[in-house]
Amino acid sequence: MKLYNFSPSPNGRRVNVFLKEKKIKLEVFELNVREDEQFKEPFNSMNPFNCVPFLELDNGEIISESVSVCRYLEELFPDPSLFGSTGLQRAQIDMWNRRLELDALGPLGNAVRNKLPFFAGKVLAGTRNSIEQNPEIVDRGMQMAKLLFERIDSHLGSNEFVAGSSFSIADITGFFVFAACDALEFEIPNKYSNVLSWKKVLLQRDCFKLD
């Protein structure tokens, strides 16, 4: 099994954080997406979505999408569980992870790609084209994240982690929501004090520290 990754990228880091938290060691091939290696063969055939991370199994099967890669690894290395141990926990963690991805990480990721000059000509991940950067997508991404913070602040007041009392894949997604806010220089309003406390807890966790 081999992981194809670009460790400095946000989704690459998401998988690396998961591996570190679970103390999993994998063979890794660093694929430099900043130099467009993902469009060259054999990588283009392995993942026609032209993104990292993706996992190549020993039988040649490919799994891409950072959370799907993590989900597969959780099957092989169940402890400590980051996707939940009971049916209820699994559903709750999935619910929170989806909320964070759909309502914040995705919209903020689009905002980053529509704002930073580096992403001109590549506003959609895994593509190179002439679709223009659009400042309305930047504003909408931050509006959506703010709405999510509004909705989760009181929940975080009574839960140490976003899906309850244990650290999970949803907290890893949360960390990268905060990283995207930083990339956009979007300051989370102080009134979301529980969101800010959660951020602080995550920042102190070993798995998020760069080696």
Ligand X SMILES: N[C@@H](CCC(=O)N[C@@H](CS)C(=O)NCC(=O)O)C(=O)O
> Any contact of residue 52 with ligand X (CB under 6 A)?
yes
Question: Contact region for ligand X (CB under 6 A) — 5-13, 17-25, 55-63, 183-191?
Answer: 5-13
Q: Which of 178, 145, 193, 183 is nearest to 17 (CA)?
A: 178
Nearer to ligand X, 19 or 156 (CB): 19
Question: Contact region for ligand X (CB under 6 A) — 46-54, 89-97, 160-168, 169-177?
Answer: 46-54
Given a contact cutoff of 8 angstroms between Cβ atoms, the answer to whether 48 and 54 are in contact is no
> Rounded to an integer, what distance in angstroms lies between the CA atom of residue 138 and that of residue 111?
4
> Any contact of residue 122 with ligand X (CB under 6 A)?
yes
> Rounded to an integer, what distance in angstroms lies between the CA atom of residue 8 and that of residue 30?
10
> Any contact of residue 97 with ligand X (CB under 6 A)?
no
Question: Contact region for ligand X (CB under 6 A) — 51-59, 80-88, 166-174, 199-207?
Answer: 51-59
> Any contact of residue 126 with ligand X (CB under 6 A)?
yes
CA dihedral 190, 195, 200, 202 (to 10 degrees): -160
Q: Are strands 27-30 and 2-5 parallel, antiparallel or unpaired?
A: parallel
Sequence-distant (6+) residues with CB within 8 A of 94 are: 83, 84
Question: Contact region for ligand X (CB under 6 A) — 21-29, 120-128, 182-190, 193-201?
Answer: 120-128
> Any contact of residue 125 with ligand X (CB under 6 A)?
yes
Q: Which residues bind ligand X (CB under 6 A)?
A: 9-11, 33, 38, 50-53, 65-66, 122, 125-126
